[in-house]
Amino acid sequence: MNTILITILCCWFLSGFLMKFSDDEYDENSNKLMASILAIFSGILMGYLASNTIDASYIFLTIIIAGILSLKIDGIHHVISLIFFILTCVIFNFFTGPLLGLSLATLIICILAEYIDEIGNDNSKFYKNKFLKFFFDYRLTLEFTVLILALLGVYSSLTGFNIPYVHFIDFSVFIYFLTFDLGYIIAGVIFQKFRKNSVVS
């Protein structure tokens, strides 16, 4: 495994890790300062990754836009993260590079998937069902959507298959996205563990 690949994986992992830790610091500890500091680094990492490839930009633009549409951008840390995301995108020429090559159809498909996840997450109506609770806790709608687009990308590379106006996603970005989610999940586990220990002590 080369240095570049390790760096990319670490950036995806840390962006998810810092995003979740920032949310928990804000929501659970009411620590706006720490949440904001973590949000700065999360926003920078997401902006950097989105500026490097079109496929990565689908993921991060989806998370941001779906969050806004579902009214989940509701804290100062979210605003700070968004500001640093935009600033980083400007620095790395996102708006004159990857943005110009985006497929609006693919972006809308991903946004709809993430919007479903945002509506289902922490929703008592869905949490009565164990399967739906698990499904939305781990926000699997977007994961399955990205997986399908990635598999179609593989199929397209082998057969030339295409869907007009839809851009398929490179399978490597699906792996990176799983790394992002892994960081997100691990951050939640670590946060809850430290929180329980602090309560006990």
Q: Which residues of 161-196 are buried (b: 16+ CB within 10 A; e: fewer)?
A: eeeeeebbbbbebbebbbbbbebbeebbeebeeeee
Residue 148 has pLDDT above 90, yes or no: yes
Residue 71 has pLDDT above 70, yes or no: yes
Under the banding of pLDDT at 50, 70 and 90, the label for residue 127 is confident
pLDDT of residue 199: 52
Full-model pTM: 0.91
